[in-house]
Amino acid sequence: MLRECISKKYGARSQGLVGAEKWERWFPLLVALLFLFSSCQEKVEHDGKQPLAQLGNQFLYYEDVVKELPYGISKHDSVRLIGEYYRKWVEEQILYEKAELNVRGDERIERMVADYRRKLILNEYEQRLLQQKMKDELSEEDLLQYYEENKQLFMLEEPVIKGVFIKAPLNSPGLKDLKRWYKDKSENSLEQLEKYAFRNAVIYEYFYDHWVPVSELEGKLIINLAELSEDFDKHRDIEAEDGEYCYLLHIEEYIVKGEEKPYDMAKLEIIDLLANNRRVDFMRKVKEDLYNQSMEMGRIKYYDDETKIMGGAVRDADDASDGSAR
């Protein structure tokens, strides 16, 4: 078939170039070169993800798209929204390629990117400082007391589960044993499961010790967990196949949507809530300490004494203003 296609397309010209006999003689070499070239193409590792679209070296994966879908929608709506997302992604990738060629090197955009990155880093650092301070200042008893007194603030917007999930190729050895181990919480079964996962699994997630929202697993399974969530009692062991992989999920515990969040899921939210009440005073103290340290180390140099004086006056005015506001 390949010979016929090439002959039809290039046959007329080949007589004027090398002649029919030479073409027939060189044809096997051409096929060999084509095969060698195709075999040398770079293979892309998708880490077990399912590609939906590709543009150049960029891939759109089902697992990433499904995270953007509204929770609990029907299969029909899921397919429709994935299709819309797919088209939008391709269009944006193409437009970005074109835009980058025409806007590359724009100093204004580079400054905006650098400024935005700086703000993100500052905000993240402040948040971490606050959380650490709250952890140091607030005891576990304080956090538990706040949780017990304000449970109505912490309600689940989707089901959460504890258990284990594994995704393995269908051609993996010992699948029969795997399907026995993943249902059993005994120490021996878990040990065998971990060994098996290390050798064969594409995905292995152990979460007997913490709660996981079902949306975090939606993109890794080929079934809709949301549709099963109201009847998890009858679906503690979920098995599915897609012709290439085997998907196994054991649900040890679950809490349905609308119920109170478990304390260990609400804990960080509690810390954030309490931290926000003290954010202004705390960050002022952090900035003041860093400023004084830098002055003592000689890292700050003012070229105009009046600027230094005015800076101190503005800072004192801000402190007085915040004090009166409180």
Amino acid found at 233: D
Structure tokens at 300: 């700050």
Q: What is the residue extent of each domain of the chain?
A: 2-39, 51-103, 156-255
**Radius of gyration from C-alpha coordinates of the chain:** 30
**Whole-number pLDDT of residue 319:** 56
Residue 272, exposed/middle/buried by CB under 10 A (0-12, 13-18, 19+)? Answer: middle
Q: Are 82 and 52 in contact (CB under 8 A)?
A: yes
**Whole-number pLDDT of residue 19:** 44
Q: Which own/partner pairs from 185-191 qualify as long-range (CB within 8 Å, at least 24 positions apart)? A: 185/252, 190/164
With tokens 């119920």, the residue in question is: 259
Cβ-Cβ contacts under 8 Å for 129 (sequence gap 6 or more): 282, 283, 286
**Whole-number pLDDT of residue 318:** 56
| Secondary structure class of 297 (helix, strand, coil) | coil
Q: What is the DSSP string of 179-234?
A: HHHTT--SHHHHHHHHHHHHHH-SEEEEEEEEEEETHHHHTTSSS-HHHHGGGGGG
**Whole-number pLDDT of residue 248:** 93
Give the separation between CA 303 and CA 30, rounded to whole angstroms: 74
* β partners of residue 167: 203, 247
Number of residues assigned to the chain: 326
**Whole-number pLDDT of residue 263:** 93
Give the separation between CA 252 and CA 163, rounded to whole angstroms: 5
DSSP state of 152: G
DSSP state of 11: H
Which regions of the chain are under pLDDT 70? 1-44, 71-73, 229, 277, 304-326
**Within 10 Å of residue 172's Cβ, how many Cβ atoms?**
15
Q: Going by DSSP bridges, is the β-strand pair 58-61/51-55 parallel, antiparallel, or unpaired?
A: antiparallel
Give the separation between CA 166 and CA 182, rounded to whole angstroms: 8
Q: Are 161 and 235 in contact (CB under 8 A)?
A: no
Cβ-Cβ contacts under 8 Å for 132 (sequence gap 6 or more): none
Give the separation between CA 113 and CA 100, rounded to whole angstroms: 14
- CA 41 vs. chain centroid, Å, equals 28
Element (H, E) at 255: strand 245-255
Is pTM beyond 0.85 here?
no
- CA 180 vs. chain centroid, Å, equals 30
Phi/psi class of residue 165: alpha, beta or left (left: φ > 0; alpha: ψ in -120 to 50)? beta
